[in-house]
């Protein structure tokens, strides 16, 4: 299993990118091992975010350290929680549905087709839950951490979506083939991300935090909110992700409902009306092929793919038929990713699943992996999130409750996205960390 052979991974990186990046990798690992836990946690997330971009050295760095990040931070986190004991106040309780879901994911490796593969990927998932519901849960008792999260969301929006827009503009002006190919600016805009859909959905997740983070939390960086919002709008709209557009409208409505109460419907209708008017009136005549018409249909709605949900119906049928073979407890964690020609032995060597099956739905994937029992646990958790959010919406308006509502809006958007994507279950996926953390 070469995913733990750091020497082999560093030699491979040395051969591909020269001596600088292996040194960077070693320094990052040392910081993860010995740096302050909150900062090590931040670095780990930053490295994982690097796996979402098309700049190859960052992707390689994330792949080399992916498994180390989860193992090191989870172990350090558990030791930290044990050391502080009752000195740090506990806020709330970890939902039992999450605990049972993690335990069931691990246990399912016993009846999976390949025990080692299932155990490794389920273990990474459980490490994600430990980091989010044990470590971050304790760190969030500090008000400074909440401020840091708001500032972090703003900075990430500028680095990911803002830089993506700049590179897209440079590609249009210079007609540079490299940038035109990677940003895909003439079709569905991907920016710095590996794919356009990720660009849009990630922007939609950041949207509520950038839109309405309390000014006193952002302080001197508050003025950066406006360029960040412009970049997010561009990425969400021109990524062509219908999910991103719908999630953005939904999260805007949730925040408006909290902030303006009865005026939320009018506010959302006004924002949505202006957005649709701009889309309908913007022709895109330079798209690939002979596509003509408004941006609303050519980029966002893509009406030619609505009949089969962009090819998802066939994938969902495959998942359903497979799940019905073992409907109650499923085929074991990771089975939903290996329904095709995936070589699990090779995947363990590479640290990522080659030729992975993408069922494009968290719910269908859970049904295949853990059956109706596992899917029911996830639905219980989701219901708890929604119930907590409804209580938040009725809370008095304060900076703390505002940040809580913004995270709820973002989480609710990601819950909606689970219908058509399954990134929150992927081993080491940034989407998975962000979802469970939120």
175 is a domain residue = yes
For residue 41, pLDDT beyond 60: yes
The residue among 31 and 134 whose pLDDT is bigger is 31
Q: Are 256 and 227 in a shared domain?
A: yes
The boundaries of the domain holding residue 71 are 1-87
Q: Rank 63-77, 179-193, 292-306 by mean pLDDT and report only the highest.
A: 179-193
∠382-384-386 over CA atoms, to 5°? 70
Whether the per-residue pLDDT at 259 is higher than 70: the answer is: yes
Instruction: Assign 284 a pLDDT band (cuts: 50, 70, 90).
Output: very low
47/123 same-domain check: no
Q: Considering the domain boundaries, does residue 280 fall inside one?
A: no
Check whether residue 240 and residue 330 sit in a common domain.
no
- Rounded to an integer, the average pLDDT of 136-161 is 81
Task: Name the more confident of 352 and 234.
Answer: 234
pLDDT of the residue at 319:
83
Task: Verify that 344 and 330 share a domain, yes or no.
Answer: yes
Report, as an integer, the average pLDDT of 286-315.
Answer: 52
Q: What is the pLDDT of the chain when averaged over all its residues? A: 80
The two structure tokens encoding residue 320? 């359903």
Residue 212 located in a structural domain: yes
pLDDT band at 232; cut points 50, 70, 90: very high
Is residue 435 located within the same domain as residue 346? yes
- 23 plus 115 within the same structural domain: no
- Claim to verify: residue 123 and residue 151 sit in the same structural domain: no
Q: Do 315 and 437 lie in a common domain?
A: yes
Residue 396: inside a domain, yes or no?
yes
Average pLDDT in the 172-188 region?
A: 91
Mean pLDDT over 193-200 rounds to 88
CA distances from 355 to 171, 316, 341 (A): 31, 18, 6
Residue 420 is predicted with a pLDDT of: 81
| 406 falls within a domain | yes
Sequence-separated contacts (24+) of 3-6 with Cβ below 8 Å: 3/67, 3/120, 3/348, 3/349, 3/350, 3/351, 4/67, 6/64, 6/68
pLDDT band at residue 342 using 50, 70 and 90 as cut-offs: low
To the nearest whole percent, how much of the chain has pLDDT over 90? Answer: 24
Total domains present in the chain:
3
What pLDDT band is residue 115 in, cutting at 50, 70 and 90?
confident
**Residues 45-64 pLDDT 10s:** 889 888 889 999 998 898 88
Q: Are residues 122 and 167 in the same domain?
A: no
Q: Say what the pLDDT of residue 404 is.
A: 85
Q: Is residue 124 part of a domain?
A: yes
Question: Binning pLDDT at 50, 70 and 90, where does residue 231 land?
Answer: very high
214 with 181, same domain: the answer is yes
Name the E strands within 176-292.
none
Q: What's the CA angle centered on 202, arms 201 and 208, to 5 degrees?
A: 95
- 346's CB contacts (< 8 A; 6+ apart) are 354
* Confidence category of residue 292, pLDDT binned at 50, 70, 90: very low
- Asked whether residue 243 is assigned to any structural domain, the reply reads yes
349-394 pLDDT, tens digit per residue, is 655 566 566 778 889 999 999 999 999 999 999 999 999 888 888 8
- 260 and 214 within one domain: yes
pLDDT at residue 75 tops 80: yes
Question: Are residues 64 and 129 both part of a single domain?
Answer: no
In a domain, 402, yes or no: yes
């Amino acid at each position: 299993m070469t995913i733990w052979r750091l020497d082999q991974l560093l030699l491979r990186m040395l051969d591909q990118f020269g001596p600088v990046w292996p040194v960077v990798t070693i320094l990052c690992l040392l910081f993860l091992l010995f740096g302050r836990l909150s900062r090590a946690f931040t670095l780990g997330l930053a490295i994982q975010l690097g796996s979402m971009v098309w700049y190859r050295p960052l992707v390689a760095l994330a792949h080399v350290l992916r498994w180390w990040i989860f193992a090191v931070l989870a172990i350090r986190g558990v030791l930290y929680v044990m050391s502080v004991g009752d000195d740090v106040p506990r806020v709330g309780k970890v939902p039992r549905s999450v605990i049972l879901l993690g335990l069931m994911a691990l246990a399912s490796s016993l009846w999976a087709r390949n025990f080692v593969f299932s155990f490794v990927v389920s273990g990474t998932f459980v490490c994600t839950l430990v980091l989010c519901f044990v470590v971050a849960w304790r760190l969030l008792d500090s008000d400074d951490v909440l401020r840091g999260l708001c500032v972090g969301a703003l900075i990430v929006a500028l680095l990911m979506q803002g830089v993506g827009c700049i590179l897209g503009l440079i590609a249009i002006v210079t007609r540079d083939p490299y940038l035109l190919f990677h940003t895909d600016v003439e079709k569905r805009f991907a920016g710095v991300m590996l794919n356009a859909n990720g660009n849009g959905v990630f922007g939609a997740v950041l949207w509520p935090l950038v839109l309405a983070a309390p000014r006193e939390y952002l302080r001197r960086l508050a003025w950066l909110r406006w360029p960040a919002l412009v970049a997010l709008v561009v990425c969400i709209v021109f990524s062509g992700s219908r999910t991103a557009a719908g999630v953005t409208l939904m999260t805007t409505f949730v925040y408006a409902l909290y902030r303006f109460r009865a005026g939320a419907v009018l506010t959302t209708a006004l924002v949505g009306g202006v957005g649709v008017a701009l889309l309908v009136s913007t022709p895109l005549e330079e798209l690939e092929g002979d596509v003509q018409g408004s941006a609303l249909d050519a980029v966002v709605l893509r009406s030619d793919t609505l009949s089969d949900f962009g090819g998802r119906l066939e994938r969902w049928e495959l998942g359903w038929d497979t799940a019905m073979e073992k409907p109650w407890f499923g085929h074991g964690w990771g089975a939903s990713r290996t329904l095709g020609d995936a070589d699990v032995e090779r995947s363990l060597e590479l640290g990522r699943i080659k030729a992975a099956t993408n069922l494009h739905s968290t719910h269908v994937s859970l049904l295949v992996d853990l059956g109706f029992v596992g899917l029911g646990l996830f639905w219980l958790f989701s219901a708890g999130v929604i119930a907590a959010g409804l209580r938040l919406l009725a809370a008095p308006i304060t900076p703390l409750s505002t940040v809580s509502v913004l995270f709820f809006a973002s989480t609710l958007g990601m819950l909606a996205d689970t219908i058509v994507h399954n990134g929150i279950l992927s081993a080491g996926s940034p989407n998975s960390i962000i979802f469970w953390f939120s």
